[in-house]
Amino acid sequence: MQMTGMTSFTVTRLLSEWEQRGIIASHPRSVLIKDLLGLRTHGKGAA
């Protein structure tokens, strides 16, 4: 998270939002990208 300049709260919020949209699936030790185009689209305006 330090490399992105984001707080852990922001990262958690974004991951939750993307999971609700079906872009990713999170697991205890991994994150599965289900929709790469969606991640690229939503990730650009994430910060």
So what's the pLDDT on residue 9?
Answer: 84
CA distance 29 to 42: 23
Tokens at residue 6, please?
């984001």
Tokens at residue 16, please?
């939750």
pTM given for the model: 0.74
So what's the pLDDT on residue 15?
Answer: 92
Outline where the chain has alpha helix (H).
8-20, 36-43
So what's the pLDDT on residue 3?
Answer: 58
So what's the pLDDT on residue 46?
Answer: 61
Express each pLDDT in 1-47 by its tens digit.
455 677 888 888 999 999 999 999 999 999 999 999 999 998 776 65
So what's the pLDDT on residue 6?
Answer: 78
